Amino acid sequence: NLCTNGDFSGGTTTGWSGTSCTLSVVSGAMRLLSTTSGAGARVADFPIAGLTIGVKYRVMASKIGAGGASAANATSGINIRNAANSSTLASTSGVTGTGGGFIITEFTATETSCYLRARWDGDASADTTSYTDFDNFEFRALPATGAFPKRAATFDEFFAFTATSTTARSYV
């Protein structure tokens, strides 16, 4: 896993930097707490090094939940940003509201480093109490032989992979 602090098991957000939010660990997950009111993104960036140009990578995370006055209207997702953190290479969003969900995206490396970005977008109006919690970030190279997984993983298989795997698995 190239995201070396993706499970926050050490109780810190070391390596992550926040924009328009403060970062903390609450119940083992990273919390992005809004520090600004109004519409816009609250983001946490993590630098990723050691990519191989031309290799396809899969990035996964869990949105644990959200709260605060504006949480019901917020949309959470992840972005892959270039090495200068100035443009988006891949993104996914769509986990809306206060509930949790899985966020997955894939991209092919064009540089040897990039940024992993967790984000939530919404209109916090006059509210700085809204937050979103993320956990279980995975950033792994896919096998060169083809798609992974070959069939949809079950809920238990997905978590077994993200919790314990150090290499990609193929499911037949």
- pLDDT of residue 167 exceeding 50: no
Half-sphere exposure of 38 (CA within 13 A, CB side): 3
Rounded to an integer, what distance in angstroms lies between the CA atom of residue 70 and that of residue 123? 7
Rounded to an integer, what distance in angstroms lies between the CA atom of residue 104 and that of residue 147? 14
Q: Give the model's pLDDT for residue 168.
A: 45
Looking at residue 95, what DSSP letter applies?
E
For Cα atoms 118, 119, 123, give the angle at the middle one, nearest 5 degrees.
Answer: 165
Q: Which residues pair with 133 in a beta bridge?
A: 31, 65
Rounded to an integer, what distance in angstroms lies between the CA atom of residue 51 and that of residue 91? 18
- For 56-88, give one letter per residue: b (16+ CB within 10 A) or e: ebbbbbbbbbbbbebbebbbbbbbbbebeeeee
Average pLDDT over residues 86-113: 89
Q: Kindly indicate the confidence band of residue 169, based on its pLDDT and cuts at 50, 70 and 90.
A: very low
Q: Strands, DSSP E only, in the chain? A: 17-19, 21-26, 29-34, 39-49, 56-67, 75-81, 88-96, 101-108, 113-123, 131-141
Q: Give the model's pLDDT for residue 154.
A: 58
Q: Give the model's pLDDT for residue 95.
A: 80
Higher pLDDT, 127 or 103: 103
Residue 127, Cβ neighbours under 10 Å: how many? 16
- Helices within 44-105 (DSSP H only): none
Burial class from Cβ neighbours inside 10 Å (0-12, 13-18, 19+) for residue 150 reads exposed
State pLDDT tens for residues 35-91: 887 777 899 999 999 999 999 999 999 999 888 877 777 888 999 999 999 999 998
Q: Which pTM value belongs to this model? A: 0.80
